[in-house]
Amino acid sequence: MSESNSFIKRSLKSAFSIFLTQTKISKIESLSKNFVLIEMTGTKLKDSKWVPGGKVQVDVGNLTYRTFTPIHVDRLEGKLSLICYKRSDGLASKWISALKVGDPCEVFGPRESLDFSSIEGEVILFGDETSFGIAKVLQNRVGKKSHIFFELNSAEAGKEALEPLGITGQRMIERSLDGSHLSKLAKEILECLSQMPDAKIFLTGRAKSIQQVRTYLKDSGVPTNKLKVRAYWADGKVGLD
C-alpha cells in the first residue's frame, strides 16, 4: 500500500471511528477445510440494531474491510457470529487463517442489506459458498419453507460445513467449467416456483452466476420485480456487499 493510500485510509477511519465497533474474537470453530464459524464479542454490540439478513464489514488488515452476513447477534451478551469462507488466498482468507481467540477485531455495522425480519411463506434462495450465512438466517426465520439452491466447488465440502450449522434440505450442484450447471439449477428453481408461485426469490453469491440465473428465469416468464438480487462477489473485484 502506498503512503498516500495509507494516509487516506487512516483519515477515513478516523472520520468514521464513531461508527466502528471494537470487538474481540471469542470463538473460532472450523466447520470444514474452507469454512470457519467465528464469534466476536464487544460491548457496543449490545446497542446494535441488527436486522436478520443484514451485514457487517470487518477490518481484515491494512484498513481493508470485507463484508459478511451475521447468522446471529446476541444483544444481551454483546456477541455476533458469522460464517467465513476462505475463497482464495486473498487478504480476507489470510486474515481468517491467522485469526486467534482474543484477537481484536474492528467492525462497521451491523447495517442493512437483505431484510428477513418479517419474511414469511415460501422462499427460494440461490447462492454459493458465500451464501451460507444468509441461508442460515433464512432457515432460522422460515424453516422448511426455505428452498435453497447452491452452486459449489465441492458438494462434499459444502455438506461437511452445512451439517453442523443445521442447514437442511438444500440442493447442491458442483460448478462445471462451461457453466452448464447454472441452467440446470435455474430449471430446478423454475420447477420449484411452479409448485409455489407466490414464493419470494433471492439470488445471491457470484455476480456472473446471478446474472445467468436471473436471465434464465426472466426469459422463462418470471417477472424481474420478483427477483431480489445481492451479489457478494465478482471476478476481479473486491468489496462487494
The tens digit of pLDDT for each residue in 181-190 reads 999 999 999 9
- The arithmetic mean of pLDDT across residues 91-111, rounded, is 92
Output the pLDDT for position 87: 76
For residues 199 and 88, the model is more confident at: 199
Residue 8 has pLDDT above 70, yes or no: no
Output the pLDDT for position 206: 95
Output the pLDDT for position 11: 46
Q: Alpha carbon of 215 to those of 179, 182, 189: distances in Å?
A: 14, 11, 13
Q: Which three cell numbers stand for residue 10?
A: 487512516
> Between vectors from CA 100 to CA 97 and to CA 103, what angle results, nearest 5°?
120
Residue 91 has pLDDT above 90, yes or no: no
Output the pLDDT for position 15: 40
- The arithmetic mean of pLDDT across residues 202-227, rounded, is 96
Output the pLDDT for position 40: 97
Output the pLDDT for position 16: 47
Residue 13 has pLDDT above 70, yes or no: no
- The arithmetic mean of pLDDT across residues 95-112, rounded, is 93
Residue 86 has pLDDT above 90, yes or no: no
Alpha carbon distance 50, 137 (integer Å): 12
Alpha carbon distance 149, 162 (integer Å): 13
**pLDDT-wise least confident of 1-10, 175-184, 207-216:** 1-10
The contacts found for 27-30 with CB under 8 angstroms, 24 or more apart, are: 27/81, 27/101, 28/99, 28/100, 28/101, 29/164
- Residue 130: DSSP 8-state: G
List, in sequence order, every residue forming a beta bridge with 124; answer none if it has no partner.
147, 201
Output the pLDDT for position 236: 74
**pLDDT-wise least confident of 1-10, 56-65, 203-212:** 1-10
Task: Please report, in angstroms and rounded to a whole number, the separation of the first and last CA atoms in the chain.
Answer: 23
Indicate the average pLDDT of the chain: 90
- The arithmetic mean of pLDDT across residues 105-115, rounded, is 91
